[in-house]
Each structure stands twice: as structure tokens, then as C-alpha cells.
């Protein structure tokens, strides 16, 4: 099959198109012919080696972290799917490879594609949808009437998280540039802070939850807008000890990870709030929950641009250069 492969950790030149063997299909796996896959900042971090301490992929490997397609084969123990089913998924972190014609995944990581979406639209959802769900529902336990700040509301995670938070009954604030204010308001944001003109931490107070997708100073300032007992869930900040335990890291790596997040965790404790790092995981069950919301019209995808499969390197560069205006960048194998 054709695929885009990372030859070694590094810059954009390390990703090359080539023929690779078809995936091996296990007893619990489905083999999916990919119609579309989406590009995520995670792909760039994996390619560059920024995450190799916690995701030590052995090069060469196929890049790509979410997709939509059609089941073309199923293992002997598969009960959820049959050949011909249209599905979407975020593969388990140990089995990535969506920038390819085929992928094999455990059936538990896969869900039926939302009936109301095209393949291109569906491919934009899994990673960001699961991130929003695990941050707001699972980690923060966001409840009706609470206040949540979602950073980068026009980004891939932000566009889904705003809609999910409104569905959960929360009051939603977000950060966005003035050019994207109308977009985030149509998604449901109640308060929009133009981060190019006004520091959000000087305006917002007593928030229950912050979803941080930016890190750095934005993460530091986010602690200030929380009420006592509030929580910032970050996908861009330093990993914390809870993540190290979940990942099964060895004692040396655990100590290193604890050191990385020591300062932000200490500052959070002094302010009477909590810091939690999230590295989202694959979950077909949670995707099915998201599918229900999509087909009910509660959540809709936002696709910035679609590239042909042959232009996968250009799609990666488009994301890396920050050229996406809103939502996700998708790679299409066909005109789905």
C-alpha cells in the first residue's frame, strides 16, 4: 500500500511517500480502507521527536492519528463491525498510521461514522472530539451552570469543545482573534476575548474549568482565572505524574516527568486550584457518544481545507506554518 512514512525524527524532509506492506490484521482487528485522514499538531510533534520520551516510535513508521473509511476485512473475534461498514477512529497511540491507504485497528477503538457527515468531515472529528470529551466530561466533570474558558476557540479542539460545553449547559468563554470572533460565537461562545488586544486574565474571574490548548504563558495565566477548587486541563502543558503512571513509565521517566510539571503544579496548589495534563486516548465507546451528538445536530465539524493524498507533505506544512484559519485540515484519498 502507499503511505507517508517518517524515516527518522526531524523536520518536514523526514516524511516520504513510499510503498509499505499492508497491515497485519489481528483476531480483534478491523482492516479499514482510509477515505480521509486529518492533520493534527500531534503529528508534527511526533515527527520532530518532541514526544519520543513517552511515544518512542521506531522509525520508519507511518504518520497519522485519525481517519474515516470503510471496513474491508475483520478478524475472527470481531463482533462490532462487518465488511462494508463506514467507520471513523483515532487509533490507539501504539498503532497510528492514518496517512496510508489501509490501517488495522482494534475494534474497541472504532465507531460507526456519523450518518450526517461525509468522510472528509468525519475524519476531522476523532482526535479533537475525544480530546474535548475527555477534558470536559471525564476529567473536569463539567456541569450545567459552570463557567469554562476554552482557549483557541477557532482551533480543531476549540471548535468541538465550545459546542460540547454548551451542550453540557456551561457558560463558555473563549480566546480568538478578531477575525474569528463571529465563528466562535456561532459555535456557542458566550464571551469572546480577542487575545491580540486584551489579556484574558485581566477580564475573566471565578471560572470552574479551563481547557488549555496553548501552553506556556497562557497556561500560567489560566490559573489566575479559576475559582478555588477549579481545574485547568491542558493538552499543551508539561506532563504530570498522573500521566506518567497511566502511561506505565519506568521510575526514571516518572521522576523526569514529575520534574517537568513541578513548577506549574506548585503554583496551582498555592492558588488553591488544580492542574491536570491530558494525553487523549482512543475510545470507540466515547466516539459513539460523540456520533449521537453529531447526528442530532448538536455538534458540527469545522474543516478549514482538504488536500489530496499526494499532497500530504503540503498539508503538514500548512498546519505547521499556522495557515489554517479555523477547524481542521483533512487529507482525502478520494472525493469523499
Provide the domain limits for residue 252.
127-277
Same domain, 136 and 270: yes
Same domain, 145 and 267: yes
Same domain, 144 and 113: no
Distance between CA 153 and CA 73 in Å, rounded? 38
- Domain of 260: which CATH number? 3.40.50.720
pLDDT at residue 248 above 90? no
pLDDT > 90 in the chain, percent: 90
pLDDT at residue 336 above 80? no
Same domain, 140 and 189: yes
Least confident of 12-16, 218-222, 289-293: 12-16
**SS3 category, 232:** strand
Let me know: does 37 contact 122? Beta carbons within 8 Å.
no
| pLDDT of the residue at 53 | 78
Same domain, 121 and 139: no
| pLDDT of the residue at 56 | 86
Q: Over range 68-72, report the average pLDDT.
A: 98
Same domain, 54 and 108: yes
| pLDDT of the residue at 330 | 98
pLDDT band at residue 335 using 50, 70 and 90 as cut-offs:
low
Q: Over range 131-140, report the average pLDDT.
A: 98
Let me know: does 157 contact 148? Beta carbons within 8 Å.
no
Distance between CA 71 and CA 148 in Å, rounded? 38
Residue 28 belongs to some domain of the structure: yes
Distance between CA 330 and CA 107 in Å, rounded? 23
Residue 191 belongs to some domain of the structure: yes
Distance between CA 94 and CA 9 in Å, rounded? 17
Predicted TM-score of the model (pTM) = 0.96
Could you report the per-residue pLDDT of 91-102, keeping only the tens digit for each? 999 999 999 999
Same domain, 104 and 85: yes
- Cβ partners under 8 Å of residue 62, min gap 6: 3, 4, 5, 6, 20, 96, 97, 98, 99, 100
Helices (H), ranges, 214-306: 216-222, 241-246, 251-260, 262-271, 284-295
Residue 204 belongs to some domain of the structure: yes
Q: How many domains does the chain have?
A: 2
Residue 77 belongs to some domain of the structure: yes
- Domain of 61: which CATH number? 3.90.180.10
Same domain, 240 and 305: no
Distance between CA 185 and CA 176 in Å, rounded? 10
Same domain, 154 and 70: no
Same domain, 273 and 131: yes
Same domain, 103 and 166: no
Residue 255 belongs to some domain of the structure: yes
Same domain, 145 and 206: yes
Q: What is the mean pLDDT of the chain?
A: 96
Residue 75 belongs to some domain of the structure: yes
Residue 224 belongs to some domain of the structure: yes
Residue 295 belongs to some domain of the structure: no
Q: Over range 174-182, report the average pLDDT.
A: 96
Amino acid at each position: 500500500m502507499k503511505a507517508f512514512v517518517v524515516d527518522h525524527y526531524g523536520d518536514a524532509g523526514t516524511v516520504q511517500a513510499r510503498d509499505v506492506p499492508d497491515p497485519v490484521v489481528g483476531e480483534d482487528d478491523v482492516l479499514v480502507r482510509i477515505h480521509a485522514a486529518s492533520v493534527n499538531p500531534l503529528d508534527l510533534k511526533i515527527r520532530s521527536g518532541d514526544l519520543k520520551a513517552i511515544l518512542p516510535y521506531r522509525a520508519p513508521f507511518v504518520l497519522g492519528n485519525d481517519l474515516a473509511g470503510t471496513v474491508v476485512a475483520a478478524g475472527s473475534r470481531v463482533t462490532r463491525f462487518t465488511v462494508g461498514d463506514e467507520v471513523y477512529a483515532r487509533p490507539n497511540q501504539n498503532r497510528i498510521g492514518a496517512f496510508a491507504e489501509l490501517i488495522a485497528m482494534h475494534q474497541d477503538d472504532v465507531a460507526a461514522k456519523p450518518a450526517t457527515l461525509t468522510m472528509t468531515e468525519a475524519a476531522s472529528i476523532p482526535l479533537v472530539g475525544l480530546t474535548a470529551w475527555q477534558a470536559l466530561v471525564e476529567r473536569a466533570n463539567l456541569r450545567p451552570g459552570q463557567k469554562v474558558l476554552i482557549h483557541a476557540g477557532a482551533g480543531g479542539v476549540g471548535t468541538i469543545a465550545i459546542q460540547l460545553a454548551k451542550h453540557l449547559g456551561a457558560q463558555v468563554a473563549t480566546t480568538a482573534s478578531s477575525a474569528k470572533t463571529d465563528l466562535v460565537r456561532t459555535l456557542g461562545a458566550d464571551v469572546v476575548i480577542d487575545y491580540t488586544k486584551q489579556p484574558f486574565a485581566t477580564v475573566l474571574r471565578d471560572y470552574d474549568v479551563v481547557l488549555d490548548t496553548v501552553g506556556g504563558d497562557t497556561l500560567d495565566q489560566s490559573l489566575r482565572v479559576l475559582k478555588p477548587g477549579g481545574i485547568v486541563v491542558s493538552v499543551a502543558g508539561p506532563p504530570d505524574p498522573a500521566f506518567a503512571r497511566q502511561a506505565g513509565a519506568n521510575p526514571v521517566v516518572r521522576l523526569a516527568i514529575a520534574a517537568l510539571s513541578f513548577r506549574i503544579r506548585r503554583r496551582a496548589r498555592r492558588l488553591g486550584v488544580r492542574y491536570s495534563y491530558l494525553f487523549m486516548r482512543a475510545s470507540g465507546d466515547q466516539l459513539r457518544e460523540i456520533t449521537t451528538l453529531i447526528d442530532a445536530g448538536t455538534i458540527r465539524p469545522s474543516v478549514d481545507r482538504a488536500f489530496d493524498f499526494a499532497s500530504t507533505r503540503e498539508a503538514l506544512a500548512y498546519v505547521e506554518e499556522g495557515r489554517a484559519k479555523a477547524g481542521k485540515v483533512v487529507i482525502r484519498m478520494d472525493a469523499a
